Amino acid sequence: MKHLVIDETSKDQRLDRFLMKYLNKAGKSFIQKQIRLKKIKVNKKKAEPSTFLKLGDVVNIYMYDEKINELREIESISSLDFKDLVFIYDDENLSILYKREGLLVHAASKDDYGKNLLDKYVNYLIKNGEFIPRLSPTFTPAFCNRLDLNTRGLIIACKNYETLKKLNLSIKKRNIEKRYRTIVSGEVKADRTIELTISKKNNKNMMEVSNDGKDCITEIFPIISKNGYTLLDINLITGRTHQIRLSLSEIDHPIIGDRKYGKRIVNENLYDKYGLRNQYLIAYKLKFGDMEKGLEYLNNKEFKIDNIYYGEIEKKLLGDFYEL
């Protein structure tokens, strides 16, 4: 049997969600059944799946250790290549990393283990003694923002549960400004705010406008228009999947190179001329506002990629639009 003491990294969550992280090979229905059968208790008392765990609570698992081990998958440290870890900023609570185009943020399947940014980051922390899995059985360092596979730019990684909660709350309150740069088809003449409601498109890995979707707000600011294209600066107000890509497509100014939401003929021409294979979208700047208690040292700090226009394709492409 196991008796797990709830610490700062594990508090303030439902019992079943805590157990799904600890017994990560067990399904939700199995875990809820064990709770109903009183094989899992809190402070040696009957609990419900929805029981909220507090600091100092003890989760009692009345199973043989062999069974518990069968229900847990503990990832071992592998000899990963850390060349993809580009640190823009780092402290005891968080890191700001640069993600290159073509690199997964999270594993989409077991085959992706070790090939995505999060696994590389977690293993880096383990090797450097900044994260010790056995001391934090239900928390793993995590990102609080996300980027598509072929979008490059800045991503925030949290080293502990408290920081993750606080940054997620700051994002919800819109106290972290996320700025992007992109080039779109057509000439955008003025600043504008695009407001949509969007949802997932059937079984496809795409989003669409729908009446029962989630609110989606994007601010765009044209920098320069030339030769039928526009360089845009973008402020992401909400953070929905494919938000920028769908929003720009909906106003008939799709991102160049975007194979899901873009214009096929435009993309083919740019591929033939410049070798552009994917959407030209860069998360180039993060600006922190009034942060939660304990993270006030980040107030009004700004982090950006020093030179967002780099690489041969970008230099050739942007050279046609304006002088750098």
Q: Which position among 16, 57, 119, 148 bears the catalytic label? A: 148
CB burial string 210-222: b at 16+ within 10 A, e below = eeeeeebbbbbeb
Tally Cβ neighbours within 10 Å of residue 180.
Answer: 23
Residue among 38, 45, 36 nearest 63 (CA): 38
Helix axis angle, 28-36 relative to 15-22, nearest 10°? 120
Residue among 205, 182, 181 nearest 253 (CA): 182
CB burial string 142-157: b at 16+ within 10 A, e below = bbbbebbebbbbbbbb
Phi, psi (rounded to 5 degrees) for 264? -60, -45
The yes-or-no answer on residue 148 being catalytic is: yes
Can you give 24-46 as a three-state secondary structure string? CCCCHHHHHHHHHCCCEEECCEC
Residue 140 neighbours by CB under 8 Å, 6+ apart: 122, 131, 133
Q: Is 311 left (phi over 0), alpha (psi -120 to 50) or beta?
A: left
DSSP summary character for residue 213: S
Residue among 88, 96, 26 nearest 61 (CA): 26
Residue 244 neighbours by CB under 8 Å, 6+ apart: 180, 182, 218, 234, 236, 255, 281
Q: Are 157 and 98 in contact (CB under 8 A)?
A: no
CA dist 210 and 208 (Å) reads 6
Residue appearing with tokens 């928390």: 139
Residues labelled as active-site residues: 148
